[in-house]
Each structure stands twice: as structure tokens, then as C-alpha cells.
Structure 1
Amino acid sequence: MAGPRQRPPRPRPGARQGRPVLRKAALAALSLLATATPALAGRIDAALSDDAITITEDGKTVLVYRTKPLDPAREPGRSNYVHPLYAPDGTVLTEDRPADHLHQRGAFWSWHQVLVDGKSIGDGWFMQGLSFNIHDRGFEGDAAGRGKLTVKADWLVNSGPEVVYAATETTSVLIHPLKGGARRIEFDTVITARTDSLALGGSNDVKGYGGFSIRLVRPDAMVFGSGGKQVRPQNEPVEAGKAMGFAWSSTSGVPAWTVGLSCKANGKPVTRWILRNELSMQNCVFPGRAPYVIKKGESLRLQETLVIRPASKRTPAPAAAKPQPQPQPKT
């Protein structure tokens, strides 16, 4: 197979070098999904290495897109995801291969149920039976100072005696320069079936988690908000608004930032969420337990917007609010 093609960035014209309080912070993160727009505050660039694409603004790392597994012999499917994701001050917001859930990996999109022509061929969530051949990588800037990386990959089923070419994926990530201290990042993934049918489904239980997920640091110190209201995690998906806000308390060692996330599947907002205060990921659920079938030549399109902004008016969480150990859901 052809090796990755590196494309240098194009020059861009004009480019210049207490819990109630926490709830408000989570809700404030949502407003930035609509108000954070590109500005000429900086220059988004990319550095391409053999196994990753590193995105920077004025020399500071924004995110790293992993295009090859670090240990292909042990984990051939551990690629095609983002980690680390940084806050503007350099704080790392994501985790990769945490001890509690070794399969979780930064910002990623995967499913437990992967069926080719009606037969289960592996588990994309656990990176079993499925790997990615990333054969094309590109980056392009624009006059607004934004940068867009594009990754093209083949989905390869390696669980049988022969490798099966199951799908093609094109993922683009549009990174906006900082505006008012906030960072906006837009993901756009198109998965096209190359077999007679490709079906993707979440966990085969009442949780049904799967699709776009993000493993943020310290979920035990996090609160959630959507549609102007605080949202409480539960074992099963929570029905909420079109976007979810995540905020950390001012406990020592947690980020002084909030994160807003909105998701779409085939242009329709995703409003079902798996939320965790236990050590685990956060997920906008699509399609759920029942697999979504993609016929040969047809596509599934997933779109997500992340907005990272400074937390404001945070107060220390009272000692009584310290979370107690809880059983961890198997996600």
C-alpha cells in the first residue's frame, strides 16, 4: 500500500503571528458552540511525522492526530484518533490508555458491534479485528487563519484468514485560531461501505454507547449541563439537548477550563448522552444498541464541534462534596 503523503501547509494571506457555580460554568461552555468564531488571532500550522500530525498555533501544540499505532504488533487497531488535546494554556485535557480502561483513547469514534454482510467481524471499541490503513494525510490553511487537516483511511478487517476491505473513511478536523481565549475544533467523518453491507452498533446492552467519545481527565471532578439545566449522569443514556457542557471543580490538579460538545449523525443532532463521573469516557450516543446499516457505496456522516474556553468564577468544591468510590461501568 502506498505510504502516507505529506503535504506542507500553504501560505495564508493575512495570517498574523460550589456546585451551582460549576453548573454555570458547564452551561457557559455551551454558549461558545454558537459564539466562538474564527479570528485572525494566530496561525494554525501542522507538522507531519511518520505516526502523527501535530497541529499548532503560533508554535504551541493544539492537538495530535495519531495516524499509526505506537505498538502495531500489540495493538494494530490503535490509531485514527486525537490525543493529546490541549487547552490554550498547554493543559492536557484528554487521556490515552488510562489504567482503568486501557482501550479508551483521547477523542475517538468507534463501536462494539461491527458487522460485515451481516456477520460480526470484531469489536472496534476494543480495537479487535479491525485496523486502519491511513494512506493520505493533508493540511491546508485559509485566509481566516484556520487550519484543516484531512485523513483518508481504509478499514481493514483482519480477524479472518484474509484481510477484507470493509470501508473507506475520510475525516477532516478544522481548527480555529483562538478568539477571546476560546478554541473551536470541528470534526467531520464520512464512512463509506465497500462491502455489500457494513453495520455499526453500540454496546449490546441498555447503555448502547458508541460513536464519538472523548476521554477527558478527572471525570470524578466534573459537572454537566445542557439546555440551560444541570444534567446528572446515570447508567443508561441521558436524553438532553443538542450540546453538552463539561466543567471541572477548582480541586487541585484539574483543568481551569470548560468544554462544550455537540454532535450530529447524517445532519441530525445527537441528543442522547452517556455521561460518567466514574473514571471513563463521555459519549454522544449513535446509533445506540441497534446497529446502523450502511449499504455498499453509501455513507454515514458524523460531525462534532468542541469548544474549549477558560472557566470563570469558580470556587473550591467543599470537602463534603468529594466523590466517594463507585463501581465503574464497563465502557
Structure 2
Amino acid sequence: MAQGTWMLGMFLVLGSPLRRVEVSLKPEHLGVAWPLTVEGEAGCLVAETKGLRLVAWGQEVLQPDGRRRAIYLLPAAKEAGVQVWRFVKASPPPSPFRFVRHPDGRLELLEGGKPVWVYNFGPQLKEGVAQQYRRADYLHPLYDLDGTVLTDDFPKDHLHHRGLFWAWPEVKVGESTYDPWACQGIHHRFEDWLAQEVGPICAVLGVQGGWYLGERRVVRERVWLWTYRADEVGRILDVALSLEAEDEPVPLRGRSPDKGYGGFTLRFAPCRDASIVTPQGRLAQDGVHVRLPWADFSAHFRADEAFSGAALFDHPQNPHHPAPWLLRYYGVLNPEWPALEWATLERGKPMTLRYRVWIHRGDAQAGRVANAFAVWADPPSVREE
């Protein structure tokens, strides 16, 4: 590894000044765009391949630690081998992203005027549904690349399910156990915005919130979302959750005695011809406690023949990776943590969980889900000169 380079999390960080970068691509890295993080200022990377000029714009993206890192969104490659990128200092193009705040406690993200997702920071309740199911702090709708809604909220079979959400069925405070998964006892509350930023390749949202028992905050929560510009195949949505006990330790776990579900969960909208695909192939039936690095749910979500879907990726540095999963054909992907074991949130020791959502056209094969995971979990080797 060249002098001035080191690994930070899942990213290869390069020393400044950046003049030339060699990227070594394997066959499993092809066909998907991916973010490369480097030290130094953001500008533009340019590569020549077979007479064609490739351009990757950079952006100085805010991180949870308050630092900014230059991230370049490298376009999908068609051939394995070495790409040589050269740094060009240039003014970036306008951002395609825009945040729109609605008066009912919803923050919407648009890309090129098309909806990407809505973050519900204010309490939401569907007409005719009992007050106990009022909830906040989740994404819905989450859209595919063509503007079709992928998620469901207040589904009749599970009224507590809510788009892309994170909640646990068993949370202990003192001698009592509560069920925020089912919107019982503990509720999520928005407190403040940590970031709302847009740039040429990425939109960043940071949120400070808490888990409340009445008016008492028992867990501090920070949520970070990085939404990358879509290409013809897919879009990356990176999520980092930071959880810390306010005062006394807070144990939590998934649904006991045997199911274990809980944590980061994606509930899909009504659809037809659904297919759940994992690294082992297509599932013939629901899966429970299947240890996997990723899973994909694809289907027809609208009347025409267009297929689309979304995959969840469990970060290799998450505890208990690869996680046991709950996979339901009625429309659920859930990498369970901590499943049936107790995990304890403590003051001064934030627990951070990271996931990637890969939203794509077509089924898992057309959407290059396996490649999208590979470029994240085992990224191309990079050398600076």
C-alpha cells in the first residue's frame, strides 16, 4: 500500500495531494457505480479507456464524526482490470438533489425532480387506525428509480410495520420490558437536524432523536443517511444508526422465544410475482434465522411488466455478521440484531450499526445485487501515485 494510505472502515483512504489513482477491478466489481473515499479536496477524476473519457465527480461529504471526506462516485465498469484516474481541479455541476419539508412532519428528498424517499420525523397516524400506532422516525415512501413506491405503511396484517424502520420488540428499562417494535410503551421522538446537505453526487441527512418513555428519554439515537445519485442500474442508500443509553443501561433483543426479529427492517408494498434472492439463490419459501450477508426482494410493484426491488446489505463490521435474517414473502427483509441474545446499550458507549440499501431496476440478477454487495464488502484495491 502506498505511503499515506490506510483503511478506515470499509473505505480506502488516500493521502493528499491526490494526482493519480489506480483502481484494480475484479469481475465481481463490474456493472455497478461505487463511492471511493479519499483524503483531500473534492474535484473531478478523469480516466481514459478505449478512447472514451470517464468522469467521476467528487463531493466533500459530512461524516458522523464532524469531519468531511472527499467522495467520488465512480461509474460502473464494463471490464475487469486496472483503471487509471487522474485528479482534475474543477467546479462541480449543480446538485440533482433537493430537500422539501412538508408541514405534516415529513421531509422529502428529490433527485432531478423525482421522489427518492420521505423521512417521517413527525408522528404519523393513518386515518381509522388506533392511536397506539402513532409513530415517527422512519422512511416511507421509499421509491424505486422510476418513482414507484416500494414500501408500505400501516399494512392491515401488521399495523406497526412502517416502511424502512429500526425498532426492537423487547427493550428493558429498569424492571419493565417495552415493545417499540409494535409501538407500545417506548416511542421515537425527533429532536434536531444534524445535517441537510446536497451536492453533485450525494445528499446527506443527519438526525438527532431519542427513545422516550413518556417524557423521559431513555436512549439517544443518531441517524445518518447518505443517498447517492442513481444510474441506470441502481441507487445506493447508506444508513448508520448510533444508539446510546441516556442514563441506566438498556438491554434489548429480538422477539423471543424463537423468532428473534427486530432491528433494521424493510417492509415492502403490495406486489405480485415476488422473489427473495440471497447468495444461495432464490428462496422457495420464507426464511427464519438464515445467516446471510445480504438479501433482495424484487417484484412487480405496478400494473405494467416492470420489475424492481431493493436489497439490504449487512455491514461486515456489524456485530454478529453475517446476521440471522427474517425473510417473508408478504414483504419483509430484516437482518436481525441481536436476535435472541440480549445486547445492552450503555451510556458513553454508542452502538453503531451500518447498512446499505441497494435500490435497483429489474430482479436481483438484472439489478446486479451480488456485484453491488461485493464492491462494498470487498472493494477494489486502490493505489495512489
Alignment of 1:47 onto 2:100: yes
Matched, 1:106 2:163: yes
Instruction: State whether structure 2 residue 176 is matched by structure 1 residue 120.
Output: yes
Q: How many residues align?
A: 278
Of residues 261, 277, 283 in structure 1, which corresponds to 2:334?
A: 283
Q: Does 1:183 align with 2:235?
A: yes
Q: How far apart, in 2, do the equivalents of 1:287 and 1:254 lie?
A: 38
Tell me whether 1:292 sits opposite 2:346 in the alignment: no
Distance 1:255 1:41, change over 3 A: farther
Aligned match of 2:79: none
Identity of matched residues, %: 24
Whole-angstrom distance in 2 between the partners of 1:230 and 1:31: 21
Q: 1:66 aligns with which of 112, 115, 120?
A: 120
CA distance in 2, matches of 1:95, 1:171: 21
Cα deviations by residue, 1:142-176 (Å, 9 ceiling, x for unpaired)? 3x421001111021112xxxx32201111011110
The change in CA–CA distance for 1:92 and 1:254 in structure 2 (over 3 A counts) is farther
The Cα offsets for residues 311-330 of structure 1, whole Å up to 9 and x where unpaired, read as 1699xxxxxxxxxxxxxxxx
Distance 1:131 1:271, change over 3 A: closer
Cα distance in 1 for partners of 2:364, 2:356 equals 24
TM-score by length of 1: 0.75
Q: Distance in 1 between matches of 2:94 and 2:355?
A: 23
1:193 to 230, 241, 245: 245
Is 1:209 equivalent to 2:261 in the alignment?
yes
Give the match for residue 217 of structure 2: 165
Q: C-alpha distance in 2, partners of 1:236/1:228?
A: 14
1:1-331 map, 5 Å? 35-37=33-35, 38=73, 43-50=96-103, 51-71=105-125, 74-75=131-132, 78-117=135-174, 119-137=175-193, 138-142=195-199, 144-158=200-214, 163-218=215-270, 221-227=273-279, 229-234=281-286, 236-240=288-292, 242-248=293-299, 252=303, 256-264=307-315, 267-268=318-319, 269-277=321-329, 279-311=330-362
1: CA distance between counterparts of 2:332 and 2:208?
25
Higher strand share: 2
Is the CA contact (8 Å cut-off) linking 2:32 and 2:233 kept in structure 1? no
Deviations 1:165-211 (A, max 9, x none): 20111101111011234111111110111122011211012110001
TM-score by length of 2: 0.65
CA distance in 2, matches of 1:55, 1:291: 36
Q: By how many angstroms is 1:54 displaced?
A: 0.5
Consecutive unaligned residues of structure 1, counting only runs of 5 or more, are 1-29, 315-331
Q: Which amino acid aligns with 2:113?
A: G
Q: Which amino acid aligns with 2:220?
A: T
Is the contact between residue 69 and residue 75 of structure 1 (CA under 8 Å) also seen in structure 2? no
Match of 1:7 in 2: none
Quickly say closer, same or farther: Cα 1:140–1:207, change in 2 above 3 A. Answer: same
1:77 shift after superposition: 5.0
Structure with the greater relative contact order (CA < 8 A, sep ≥ 6): 1 or 2? 1
Tell me the CA shift for residue 32 of structure 1.
Answer: 8.7
Read off the aligned partner of 1:286 and give its amino acid letter: W
Code of the residue aligned with 1:172 in structure 2: it is W
Compared with structure 1, are the counterparts of its residues 244 and 280 closer, same or farther at alpha carbon in structure 2 (3 Å cutoff)? closer
The AA in structure 2 aligned to 1:91 is T
Structure-1 separation of matches of 2:364 and 2:259: 34
In the alignment, structure 2 segments of 5+ residues that lack a partner are 1-27, 36-72, 75-92, 366-385
User: 2:234 corresponds to which letter in structure 1?
Assistant: A
Tell me the CA shift for residue 35 of structure 1: 4.3
- Between 286-295 and 101-110, report the one with greater CA deviation: 286-295
Larger radius of gyration: 2
Query: For residues 142 and 189 of structure 2, what CA distance do their matches in structure 1 show?
Result: 23
Q: Which residue is equivalent to 1:23?
A: none
Is the contact between residue 77 and residue 132 of structure 1 (CA under 8 Å) also seen in structure 2? no
Contact 1:181/1:310 (<8 A) preserved: yes
- The offset of 1:133, in angstroms, is 2.5
- Please provide the CA RMSD for this pair: 3.0
Secondary structure of 2:282's counterpart equals strand
1:229 Cα deviation after fit: 2.5
Rounded Cα–Cα distance in structure 1 between residues aligned with 2:125 and 2:107? 17
Residues 271 and 302 of structure 2 are in contact (CA less than 8 Å); yes or no, is this contact kept in structure 1? Answer: no
Where has structure 1 moved over 4 Å in runs of 4 or more? 30-37, 39-42, 249-255
8 Å Cα contact 1:250/1:256 also seen in 2: yes
